[in-house]
Amino acid sequence: METAELTQTKPASDEAKDFLPLNGTDYIELYVANALQSAHYFQTAFGFQPLAHAGLETGWRDRESYVVVQGKIRLVLTSPLHGGTDIGQHIDKHGDGVRVVALWVDDATKAYEETTQRGAIPFMAPTREVDADGFVVRSGIHTYGDTVHVFVERSQFGGIFLPGYKTWEPEHHPDDVGLNYVDHMVGNVGWNEMNTWVNFYANVMGFNQLVSFDDKDISTDYTALMSKVMSNGNGRIKFPINEPAEGKKKSQVEEYLDFYGGPGIQHIAVATDDIVKTVTELRNRSVAFLKVPDAYYDDLLDRVGHIDEEINALRSLGILVDRDDEGYLLQIFTKPVGPRPTLFFEIIQRKGAKSFGKGNFKALFEAIEHEQELRGTL
Ligand code: FE2
């Protein structure tokens, strides 16, 4: 995956001074074949709560969206209502996947101007959207592949989600599983493209590079990748960027690119305050996770020192632990959440550590290779 060594934070240059202040992740929009059923899945399996809906009943003719929420995490699930749409093309090419990583800003017009002046390709000029609850301004730029960033300015809006949406109140309300916020979102890009996109986040969006990992850090006997972690000024937004590297067998990033049809979001890491409780609940709801060999736990405490959690609970759930200078973290990765081996989720609990689990890479990669082998794509 990706990781960070804490000694490598680069001081912000003048250019990297915060010309693009970001308050956090606003929403993540997935284009999916069946938004209704996807919303049901994210409620039932992942504990998201129904929030808002827009479609034919609210005046849209070409698409329908369901919005679900848990903690600060908002997912928008969007499907086309007829053939020949951009959304349908996106689904045909990529399968269900992330189209929009929306970022919450105070000034969407300025965010658009600052980034397009620095070379961002426009996706959506600043647009004021109004309803009885006020207005939002949204603008957007392209990033890697068919993925876009939308800037959302919502200080003058008091409605449920965005103008045009109505509250969605289905009967079915599974309990949440304790997910709080988006910790980071990882992009997979093509061969030799990592630095292009690192430079994009540095120069166009004013991000800093937290750390870099080469194929010696992130490899097993068989497969490899390279990764750099980009973060915005206040650290609320972290985007690791991966590219494949040469190994004896096919990199998991290359497998992703093959099945996704190009670059895109590989995983969404979501944070919890109690990973044992969260993962127990997710497993009870049939969310499938990667499994590392049992031997991982035999010498775990020698590697990470004292931890608060019961090691047997971690072992039975398959939760991984890593330590850095500031503390430790617990993490686990789901299997892909659709038919293609593309998008998956990471559940993470930070207890001081600000890194990304470097100590777990080898065990994780071997678990992923095992899955690739089963898929016949290694
Ligand atoms: Fe991650």
pLDDT digits (tens, 9 = 90+) for 186-216: 999 999 999 999 999 999 999 999 888 777 7
Q: What percent of the chain has pLDDT over 70?
A: 96
Task: Please tell me the distance between residue 86's alpha carbon and the centre of ligand 1 in angstroms.
Answer: 29
Residues 225, 114 within the same domain = no
- Domain housing 88: 14-167
Q: Count up the domains in the chain and report the number.
A: 2
Check whether residue 159 and residue 275 sit in a common domain. no
Residue 5 in any domain: the answer is no
How many angstroms separate the alpha carbon of residue 50 from the centre of ligand 1?
A: 26
346 annotated as a binding-site residue = yes
State whether 232 and 159 are in the same domain: no
Give the Å distance between the CA of 261 and the centre of ligand 1.
Answer: 21
User: Does residue 8 lie in a domain region?
Assistant: no
* Cβ(66)–Cβ(170) below 8 Å: no
CA distance 45 to 30: 17
**DSSP assignments along 7-45, one per residue:** GGPPPPPSTTSSSS---EEEEEEEE-S-HHHHHHHHHHT
241 Cα: distance to centroid of ligand 1 (angstroms) = 10
- Would residue 173 count as lying in a domain? no
Residue 242 clears pLDDT 90, i.e. is over it: yes
Same domain, 224 and 263: yes
User: For residue 369, what is the domain's CATH number?
Assistant: 3.10.180.10
- Residue 9 forms part of a structural domain: no
Q: Is the pLDDT of residue 119 over 60?
A: yes
Please check whether residues 36 and 80 belong to one and the same domain: yes
pLDDT higher than threshold 50 for residue 241: yes
* CA of residue 306 to ligand 1 center, whole Å: 23
153 is in an annotated binding site: no
pLDDT of residue 258: 97
Q: Mean pLDDT, the chain, as a whole number? A: 93
Closest C-alpha to 269, from 201, 200, 179, 207? 179
Q: How far is the CA of 346 from the centre of ligand 1 (A)?
A: 6
Task: Based on the fold, state whether residues 235 and 103 are members of the same structural domain.
Answer: no
Q: Is 370 annotated as a binding residue?
A: no
Backbone angles phi, psi at 333, to 5 degrees: -120, 135
Read off the pLDDT of each residue in 297-308 and give the average, rounded to a whole number: 92
Residues 151 and 294 in one domain: no
pTM of the model: 0.93
pLDDT, residue 37, reads 98
- Categorize the per-residue pLDDT at 275 as very low, low, confident or very high, splitting at 50, 70 and 90: very high
Residue 5 has pLDDT above 60, yes or no: no
Does residue 66 belong to any structural domain of this protein?
Answer: yes
**Distance, CA 280 to ligand 1 centroid (Å)?**
20
- Residues 146 and 127: their CA atoms lie apart, in Å, by 21
Neighbour tally for 212: CB within 10 Å: 18
The verdict on residue 25 lying in a domain is yes
pLDDT confidence tier of residue 117, bands split at 50, 70 and 90: very high
Q: Are residues 188 and 62 in the same domain?
A: no
CA of 344 to the centre of ligand 1 (A): 10
pLDDT, residue 359, reads 85
Domain end residue (candidates: 133, 167, 201): 167
Q: How far is the CA of 287 from the centre of ligand 1 (A)?
A: 17
Is the same domain home to 134 and 197? no
| Whole-Å CA distances, 221 to 2, 192, 204, 308, 366 | 18, 21, 37, 33, 9
Over residues 92-101, the pLDDT tens digits come to: 999 999 999 9
Token pair recorded at residue 188: 């997979």
Ligand 1 mean position to 326 CA, how many Å?
A: 18
Q: Looking at 127, 142, 167, which one is the last position of a domain?
A: 167
Picking from 107, 137, 167, the residue at the C-terminal end of a domain is 167
CB atoms closer than 10 angstroms to residue 125: 11
User: Residue 184 Cα, ligand 1 centroid: separation in angstroms?
Assistant: 7
Average pLDDT over residues 74-93: 98
Q: Please check the confidence at residue 178 and state whether its pLDDT lies above 80.
A: yes
Same domain, 226 and 359: yes
